[in-house]
Structure 1
């Protein structure tokens, strides 16, 4: 972009701020100086006119003396009153000025006063030397002759223009100093105020070059710059946490995958060696090996599915939210749980409740909670499922979870020491917690009353019941 705006945008931010401050001050100073000059001129003009209008009265003897001087019958007054220029104009337009004064050519207005047509007049004019004058002319009648004359009293306008010129130069000098000072102050303020921005820019460049997310900017005050610094520190902290979680997820995933893969590899090598050497494996052992391979493949598939679920960003939804019947989803999950634990007794009391969630993700979350209860329930035990006013509780009668382990149950890949020999990856409850949070709900695990088993509680906000389909 060319032109003044483009050149302005090409400047550094501190230079633009200093230039804008200097420009604003220049405009303000110019406006104040101009207003001051005009007000002063108006005041001086008013004072000059007032001094003429209130000039000492010229008595008749002084006029008579001046007339006699003009007619050659006398010397005339030697000192006109004050600093005024005095002259007399008769009806014929003849001008008689006081000694030492420069004649001022009468105007039509002055002649009208001399002819008795006007009482007085105030105007500007020029004397014979070209000097600008301010003139007040008034009529004066002499007795007993009855002659009427116009008396003109004048003062130089340089009494006003001179101080105004001096004032203009003073205002120009002061304005220039003010603008230069404002520009310097603006540059200093810009440098001081933008120092945190420079620190932020240096920090961003450092992070971009080194990927060091431990950088933090010192925060001082409560202004916008401090808010920006806090936001940057929060962002780098979140990025560092995310990177640590990603690294931890990869490490935990590798650790969890290593065990089933090692066992699967061992079983496959045994089967391959049997075929290569011709030494047949007993049918029962071969069947056990195939069953183990199948179970390990199933475990790997479940683990990979859980990893894919956790690979989605926390803020992203796996699908569009819909109004779904939580009681229907729970019934479907119960059917699967009864198939996995046929020796268990599962009771259910489900009151109708509708929520806004993604159906498949919500069903998987309920299934994971029920699978967890099935896995830790003793043979022939009972699982109690209740849905009442948006709270789904699942109680088992297993060994329970120690109080010191409860804060960790929703962490990825975390499994209690007593459950490490049981199938599972430690991702089920982590997926449940994220799904419930995305639906606006909350999940908690607590010891069952009496210390017998664990109670899993899922609370979800209700949604309007959808209209029946036609």
Structure 2
């Protein structure tokens, strides 16, 4: 038995889903069709026999009424030729009282029992004179039984005709079930077939730009399989964006790392011939090598964090944004001694806090301040303000530099993107991209715009609730 189950399971695994669904649907419809035909056959057979039994009962009642006072034991002698409506005979309970001639209908022990009153009337099927008969045996006064028989061949012929007709209908139903099962599986699994074909094509070509063709119709009226295909298309879109971003990151990183690595190699080769250099030349080469190593190390660390595309999930704590901004401004003053930083804290902002990772939020503000200081002209201030409004909190950083051109504004947060005016300045183009990533991980939104009167304004807006809509962690 277990071997049969294993064979069945192996067959199901090897058959396509469309074939299994077609077979299941066909078997279900065929089973219903055959069941209905079988039930109809038994109902027709029962009704025909029931009508025949009613006729026998009526005939027996008529005979009893006509011969209530007695009468001959054989009531219809012409039934030998089966030309009478009914063939009837009376049988006594005592075999000694039988007539001299033979009975026309078979007389057995149960007939004597009915005559004696020890058995209830009953119907039976007999064959007499080469014809099938339906016979009723019932009581006929005291100590006698009445047997009434009718020809059953019309009923049997009707039953056979009904069986042939219902068998033909059942066979047609099975064939129709097969056709409908195939049509249902083909139509119902068409989106799944397209999904499978698209997935196989993507696996073969490694190109996530392929999409599944969806049937026309409003989204609210689509079935589950079509919604699955639409969700798969959405997933493919996200995958395509992820792959494209990964390829751009690799291409941009290789481009950005090529220059500092070349400089590192040059300085390393120069220091390898230190005996030919003066002490001042060795000191300059060593200092340049150290700066380049720090630059490459910082860029690689930034790339690792950006490539992860999510924030780690350490333990959060309530961070006072105003205090964090004051600390970041103090640090920036040490890094940029030639730039004046002005911090302004609005009413209610000093006590405002948000759940977050202090080190990551400090990195965000530091990147914004470094970016502002890099573009600020000598003597121009970098203005930092922390403002509370309702349940929200906003930090803005403004510089008085050349500002952001309209064509550059949509791309300032892209990785490695550097405006034409900033290409001569130091930096890798990763600071703002990392700042936005940290902001989104903390449930905030970082935006940039051109400031009135010149310069740029970067705004970090915290929602009323913490990250994740209620104090959740970074992703």
TM-score normalised by the chain length of structure 1: 0.79
Moved more, 182-191 or 431-440: 182-191
Q: Compute the displacement of 1:412 (Å).
A: 0.8
Q: 1:24 to 1:411 in 2, by over 3 A?
A: same
Contact preservation (8 Å) 1:213, 1:236: yes
User: Contact 1:121 / 1:138 at 8 angstroms: preserved in 2?
Assistant: yes
Residue number in structure 2 paired with 1:414 = 417
Is the 8 Å Cα contact of residues 87 and 98 (structure 1) preserved in structure 2? no
Q: Structure 1 residue 437 and structure 2 residue 436: aligned? A: no
1:135 equivalent in alignment to 2:136: yes
Q: Is the 8 A contact 1:88 1:151 kept in 2?
A: yes
Contiguous gaps of at least 5 residues in structure 1: 141-146
Q: Is the contact between residue 217 and residue 233 of structure 1 (CA under 8 Å) also seen in structure 2? A: yes
Q: How many angstroms apart in 1 are the aligned matches of 2:100 and 2:239?
A: 97
Maintained 8 Å contact 1:400/1:452: yes
CA distance in 2, matches of 1:2, 1:120: 55
User: What's the RMSD between the two structures over aligned residues?
Assistant: 4.1
Q: Match for residue 333 of structure 2?
A: 338
How many Å apart are 1:294 and its aligned residue?
A: 4.2
Q: Give the Cα separation in 2 of the matches to 1:377 and 1:171.
A: 95
C-alpha deviation, 1:375, in angstroms: 2.0
1:331 & 1:92 partners in 2: Cα distance?
127
Shift of 1:187: 3.0
Give the aligned partner of residue 299 of structure 1.
295
1:104 — aligned with what? 106
Q: 1:86 to 1:202 in 2, by over 3 A?
A: same
CA deviation profile, 1:31-72 (whole Å, cap 9, x unmatched)? 2123222322332232122212223834888899973989xx
SS in 1 for 2:62: coil
How far residue 80 of structure 1 moved from its aligned partner, in angstroms, is 8.3
**TM-score normalised by L of structure 2:** 0.78
1:170-213 deviation line (CA, Å, top 9, x unaligned): 43343233223322432344345444444443433333333233
In the other structure, the counterpart of 2:219 is none
How far is 1:425 from its partner? 0.9
- Residue among 308, 311, 315 paired with 2:307: 311
> 2:198 aligns to what SS in structure 1?
helix
**Aligned mates of 1:97, 1:229 — CA distance in 2:** 91
CA distance in structure 2 between the partners assigned to 1:84 and 1:172 by the alignment: 33
Secondary structure, counterpart of 2:446 in structure 1: strand
CA distance in 2, matches of 1:248, 1:53: 96
Superposition map of 1:349-360 within 5 A: 349=345, 350-360=349-359
Give yes or no for contact 2:114–2:121 (8 Å, CA) kept in 1. no
Taking the aligned partners of 1:160 and 1:39, their CA distance within structure 2 comes to 13
Which residue of structure 2 aligns with residue 67 of structure 1?
Answer: 72
Distance (whole Å) between structure 1 residues aligned to residue 33 and residue 359 of structure 2: 70
Q: CA deviation at 1:3?
A: 3.3
Aligned length: 447
Cα displacement (A) at 1:122 = 4.6
Q: Which residue of 2 aligns with 1:203?
A: 198
| CA distance in 1 between partners of 2:149 and 2:118 (Å) | 18
Give the secondary-structure state (helix, strand or coil) at the position aligned to 1:67. coil
Question: Any conservation in 2 of the 1:91–1:149 contact (CA below 8 Å)?
Answer: yes
- The correspondence of residues 105-184 of structure 1 with structure 2, limited to 5 A, is 105=107, 121-124=121-124, 126=126, 133-135=134-136, 137=138, 139=140, 151-184=146-179
For 2:183 and 2:366, locate their aligned partners in 1 and report how far apart those are by CA, in whole Å.
65
Q: Which aligned pairs between 1:369-388 and structure 2 lie closer than 5 A?
A: 369-382=368-381, 383-388=383-388
Note if contact 2:328-2:366 (Cα within 8 Å) is conserved in structure 1: yes
Q: Does 1:213 align with 2:208?
A: yes
Of residues 155-164 and 334-343 in structure 1, the stretch that sits farther from structure 2 once superposed is: 155-164
Asked if structure 2 preserves the Cα contact closer than 8 Å seen for 1:67 and 1:76, the reply is: no
Equivalent position of 2:394 in the other structure: 391
Cα contact 2:372–2:397 (8 A) shared by 1? yes
Corresponding residue of 2:243? 243
Paired position in structure 2 for 1:29:
33
The runs of 5 or more residues in structure 2 that have no matched partner are 217-221
Question: Distance in 1 between the 2:77 and 2:58 partners?
Answer: 27
Q: Deviation per CA, 1:293-317, whole angstroms, max 9, x where unpaired?
A: 44433332322221121121x2x43
Q: 1:396 to 1:82 in 2, by over 3 A?
A: farther
